[in-house]
Amino acid sequence: MKKIAILVATFFGAGHLPVAPGTWASLLTALIVFFTPLSTLPFVFLALITAFVYAIGIPAAGICEKYYQKHDPRQCVIDEVAGQLVSLWFLPRQAGFYIAAFLLFRILDILKPYPINKSEALPRGIGIMTDDVLAGFYTLAILQAIRYFFFN
């Protein structure tokens, strides 16, 4: 069970990349959604997939913390997957929007504006997953505002 949890938490090994594993996991997520039918599914399906990733990510991230004996270890990137998925909700399948979602999500995930920074204090896997999902919601809100004001 521990091996499966680590496999999930590292997004099938992406967390073991030597440089910026969270960025790689976010990029892989955006590319997977863009280049597969996920981007054309009705919103409810992408939301359910995101909820599933969040739900399995909580225990996997908690196990990953114990395994690496560190709070929010860099190898644990399932949180970036969930957050990046949220940031892509409702976006048109256009490269510019997906690139913007990727870049803005990474910036917000790194800067952690309020209340993202407070959510990290939640216990174990919940805190690991929630801060990235909140960064995804911030990204979503900003991009939807840009779409509304500049692309309508």
Residues in Cβ contact with 50 at an 8 Å cutoff, skipping those fewer than 6 apart? 82, 85, 86, 89
Task: Name the pLDDT band for 132 (thresholds 50, 70, 90).
Answer: very high
Tens of pLDDT, residue by residue over 139-149, are 999 999 999 99
Could you tell me the pLDDT band of residue 44, with boundaries at 50, 70 and 90? very high
Q: How confident is the model at residue 67 (pLDDT cuts 50, 70, 90)?
A: very high
37: preceding bond cis by omega (within 30 degrees): no
Region 73-83 average pLDDT? 97
The answer to whether the beta carbons of residues 120 and 113 sit under 8 Å apart is no
* Confidence band for 1, pLDDT divided at 50, 70 and 90: confident
Residue 137 confidence (pLDDT) above 90: yes
Residues 6+ apart with CB under 8 A from 108: 116, 135, 138, 139
Full-model pTM: 0.95
Contact 57, 109 (CB under 8 A): no
Mean pLDDT (the chain) is 95
User: What's the domain count of the chain?
Assistant: 1
**Residue-range definition of the domain harbouring residue 112:** 2-150
Cα–Cα distances in Å, from 25 out to 115, 146, 149, 150?
A: 23, 25, 30, 29
